[in-house]
Structure 1
């Protein structure tokens, strides 16, 4: 049980569908974090309005041992167990690839393996937990401190990544928070201090609104000879599926998504020099076939060190891969905020 039933508090001895979890909460937020599943945040509840921001995939939460994949394909192995929420991804983003003799699977590998954790602060006014993981196929160690403070609807993240190898290593590193209903709808607007965006070739989805291998100034682009405002979220039945990359951030990078219907917004602040790319994954019923078969409505705005549709080897080719020297340590901080706002202040 947790140490208190008021103020900031932590619960560390529960399981959900067989998955061990840590629950962190204060008067404003409740986070449910799966420690056996890459510290996936499967619940991010804003208590005053009883709104859970996290997207729930049609692939319902289960324990991996309850479903043995019938394929050795890493895409299938990853998506078969992706129930939604917020994942952290390292050292490979996207497709399976080979690097320095190791096969790095889809979004491998820290989101697929158990993490250790320890509670370092447990007070009524503040709680903090350090989660840590050492990769298996790659020589990295990542420590992530998550902090909540009393009466604040802010999640503070402080991270330290170490290259344990005696040689330089290249990698991709990103945060993958995915939001869905009941927050997401056609009254939502996206704002950010990105400058420009682009798409890759070949395109990621057949129902993508933008042409492959195109560039634009945020937020306006061309699609089928029409101007598209990418800051406006389409309705759930639009039949579109977009994968867009934004960049041109200053050091103090940020985005915010605001719902006019709910009068609620969420946003993320991060170091735009360490994570210069924001992947925008927006599915409005248009992702046909495996694994969602047109059944999902979700938005993920993901800070990344790199971009590629071909995994780490593609990021090395386009020179966006993060390079760490032997024994190098990188530290960074992020903050996720939920705020109520006047619906009249949100322009559609």
Structure 2
């Protein structure tokens, strides 16, 4: 926007920023500031709680890279995505999971829409509310993806309204994943994870030599069997010294929400989502255990990622296990997600669809 009323209070938005060569949009109000990389998947790169100076989004050690200024040294379908993975929150649709060939097209890890530029339109800009609509089209599937981010004055909650439209003339299966990665300071061994009543699944096989979970385990939240015969309490976060790298999944959730609370600082992060669409909550546990490319033991983060499907093998695997999301020709699937920080102490009972956190 070249012409807008500049404000110093209330809700504010600007699409006139550039970060490391990428067009960037900033939304803010009295409580939060959100940075979106419009030129790279409309990724939410930063989500800062102003009163506590806390950024909830995890950052990779290599940070933001401009794909237009980098030539990948190889054509490996997983490495290219990881080379440009800056952390934060990606909308991963249409192929959430590892690389594969589907519908005659080669897909790298986590598809293509989070690697391409998205169009940006500021749809509301008032002191009471700001809204930005981002949209893009997949390179290798006839799918249009749109998400509108909205902040209102006096609230720390971001509303995310997303839709996926099948512009093809055949029904198509997809895997839709909201790839949200959290890191310190909200993530620590003083943090506690809250989810509603649910089933807990481990990955069918160990994903790394440092994986600690018993493969193919099924049980009730929060207890998970480990390879060494112990039982892990998944509501507790291990320290980086745990040196583990695992994947797990929550499903059959009574409602779609989770909350991570640092019980030392009383600062937390909460997400709500429609469990009818996102039937699984992926839990990527990178607690200092990923050695070799790309982590090299440097990383301490947790991905808590609502997803339509089970397993990280992509569309083909999801079709085989019956968890793929089918979108009919010409149809649109829409969801509303809320996310944001909160403060408080005690046991969390619920995060409602508006993002309100309730304690016991």
Same fold by TM (over 0.5)?
yes
Which structure 2 residues correspond to residues 178-189 of structure 1 after superposition, within 5 A?
A: 178-189=181-192
Q: Note the C-alpha offset of 1:209.
A: 2.0
1:23 alignment partner, SS class: strand
- Of the three residues 232, 239, 243, the one matched with 1:239 is 243
Q: 1:194 to 1:109 in 2, by over 3 A?
A: farther
Q: Note the C-alpha offset of 1:331.
A: 1.4
Q: Note the C-alpha offset of 1:190.
A: 0.4
Deviations 1:6-28 (CA, angstroms, capped at 9, x unpaired): 11001211111111100000000
- Of the three residues 5, 10, 30, the one matched with 1:7 is 10
Aligned equivalents of 1:194 and 1:57: distance in 2?
Answer: 32
Which structure 2 residues correspond to residues 183-262 of structure 1 after superposition, within 5 A?
A: 183-223=186-226, 224-250=228-254, 252-262=255-265
Q: 1:308 to 1:221 in 2, by over 3 A?
A: closer
Deviations 1:176-195 (CA, angstroms, capped at 9, x unpaired): 11111222110100010141
Aligned equivalents of 2:57 and 2:187: distance in 1?
Answer: 10
1:20 alignment partner, SS class: strand
2:205 alignment partner, SS class: coil
Which structure 2 residues correspond to residues 297-312 of structure 1 after superposition, within 5 A?
A: 297-312=300-315
Which structure 2 residues correspond to residues 164-179 of structure 1 after superposition, within 5 A?
A: 164-179=167-182
- Of the three residues 295, 298, 311, the one matched with 1:295 is 298
- Of the three residues 15, 22, 27, the one matched with 2:25 is 22
Deviates more, 1:328-337 or 1:193-202: 193-202
Aligned equivalents of 1:70 and 1:153: distance in 2?
Answer: 41
Aligned equivalents of 1:326 and 1:209: distance in 2?
Answer: 42
Which structure 2 residues correspond to residues 268-283 of structure 1 after superposition, within 5 A?
A: 268-283=271-286
Deviations 1:31-54 (CA, angstroms, capped at 9, x unpaired): 000001101111100000000111
Q: 1:58 to 1:117 in 2, by over 3 A?
A: same
**Counterpart contact for 1:205–1:243, Cα < 8 Å:** no
TM-score (norm: length of structure 1): 0.96
Runs of 5+ in structure 1 lacking a partner? none
**Moved >3 Å (runs of 4+):** 344-347
Which structure 2 residues correspond to residues 122-141 of structure 1 after superposition, within 5 A?
A: 122-141=125-144
Aligned equivalents of 2:59 and 2:203: distance in 1?
Answer: 27
Deviates more, 1:143-152 or 1:304-313: 304-313
Q: 1:143 to 1:309 in 2, by over 3 A?
A: closer
Equivalent position of 2:353 in the other structure: none
**Counterpart contact for 1:194–1:246, Cα < 8 Å:** no
Aligned equivalents of 2:324 and 2:281: distance in 1?
Answer: 14
**Counterpart contact for 1:266–1:336, Cα < 8 Å:** yes
Deviations 1:69-88 (CA, angstroms, capped at 9, x unpaired): 11101111000111111111
2:179 alignment partner, SS class: strand
Aligned equivalents of 2:63 and 2:123: distance in 1?
Answer: 32
Aligned equivalents of 1:65 and 1:272: distance in 2?
Answer: 37
The answer to whether the aligner puts 1:331 opposite 2:334 as a matched pair is: yes
**Counterpart contact for 2:24–2:36, Cα < 8 Å:** yes
2:144 alignment partner, SS class: strand
Q: Note the C-alpha offset of 1:309.
A: 2.9
**Counterpart contact for 1:54–1:179, Cα < 8 Å:** yes
Aligned equivalents of 2:340 and 2:17: distance in 1?
Answer: 26
Equivalent position of 1:264 in the other structure: 267
Q: Note the C-alpha offset of 1:345.
A: 5.3
The total of aligned residue pairs comes to 345
- Of the three residues 106, 121, 124, the one matched with 2:124 is 121
Q: Note the C-alpha offset of 1:208.
A: 1.8
**Counterpart contact for 1:186–1:232, Cα < 8 Å:** yes
Task: Please report the RMSD computed on the Cα atoms of aligned residues, expressed in angstroms.
Answer: 1.5
